[in-house]
């Protein structure tokens, strides 16, 4: 487990594509329990360790995950994530079909209505007004390219189920390795090429600005594209 940031109130770690953030029906040990064990051992804490889950990443997604170490931090971070104020999450995604081949500093905005099928654990783009559909908004821009792939930088304005995966697929640009949303083949590691690259927020207690960046996965294509980002 890689620790990206730690203080008395919060801790951030880098998640792999094999880890789950919270316990689920698989029975696999979640990242939250791994972090608790780390805190208990490092600080020699007796009894149960408090750790609050502030947000989630899909299992096949990699990148930064932020946890709260105190109830005060948890309540304030929960409010930030709910209101999307004082907090900003940036994702990187590798796609094979480029939505816009031009590398530019100007982002493009995607706006859809998404409906979640619980049985399939999948979201679909539907018409506005569809029952239980939720408004989904993100912005993206192309930041690097290789011979066959494009690296996108994405910022979420809303937080919907499988939002980035579903909206990019609707654009005709499924994420590399994401078979559920139309990718042609799986990735060797079983994950998808969606990475929670960075989280920026106002610290819930100190009120200082915090920026936490997760290193890219150990993968040749990821390294190639990162090296191709213009300076």
Q: Specify the number of domains making up the chain.
A: 1
Burial degree of 127 (CB within 10 A; 0-12, 13-18, 19+)? exposed
pTM of the model: 0.93
Summarised one tens digit per residue, pLDDT across range 36-90 is 999 999 999 888 999 999 999 999 999 999 999 999 999 999 999 888 888 999 9
d(CA 105, CA 35): 37
Q: How much is the pLDDT for 102?
A: 65
CATH code for position 210:
3.30.2350.10
Q: What confidence tens digit (pLDDT) does each residue in 99-156 have? A: 865 666 788 999 999 999 999 999 999 999 999 999 999 999 999 999 999 999 999 9
Indicate if the pLDDT at residue 24 is higher than 80.
no
**pLDDT value of position 86:** 86
Concatenate the DSSP letters of all residues of 27-59 into one string.
-PPPHHHHHHHHHHHHTT--SPPP-EE-----T
pLDDT band, residue 197 (cuts 50/70/90): very high
Determine contact, residues 84/45, Cβ cutoff 8 Å.
Answer: no
125 and 172 Cβ atoms separated by less than 8 Å = no
Domain of residue 187, residue span: 2-227
pLDDT of 10: 98
């Amino acid at each position: 487990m890689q620790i990206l940031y730690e203080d008395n109130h919060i801790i951030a770690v880098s998640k792999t594509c094999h880890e789950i953030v919270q316990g689920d029906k698989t029975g696999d040990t979640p990242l939250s329990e791994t972090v608790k064990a780390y805190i208990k051992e490092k600080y020699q804490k007796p009894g149960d360790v408090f750790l609050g889950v502030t947000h989630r990443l899909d299992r096949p997604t990699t990148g930064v995950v932020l946890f709260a170490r105190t109830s005060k931090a948890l309540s304030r971070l929960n409010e930030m994530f709910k209101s999307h104020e004082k907090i900003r999450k940036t994702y990187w995604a590798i796609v094979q079909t480029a939505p816009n081949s031009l590398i530019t500093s100007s982002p493009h905005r995607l706006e859809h209505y998404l409906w979640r099928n619980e049985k399939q654990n999948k979201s679909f783009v539907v018409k506005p007004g569809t029952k239980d559909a939720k408004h989904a908004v993100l912005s993206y821009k192309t930041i690097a390219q290789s011979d066959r792939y494009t690296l996108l930088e994405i910022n979420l304005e809303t937080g919907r189920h499988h939002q980035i995966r579903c909206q990019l697929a609707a654009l005709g640009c499924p994420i590399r390795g994401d078979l559920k949303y139309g990718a042609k083949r799986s990735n060797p590691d079983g994950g998808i090429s969606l990475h929670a690259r960075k989280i920026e927020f106002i610290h819930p207690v100190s009120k200082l600005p915090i920026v936490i960046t997760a290193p890219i996965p150990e993968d040749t294509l990821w390294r190639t594209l990162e090296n191709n980002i213009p300076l």
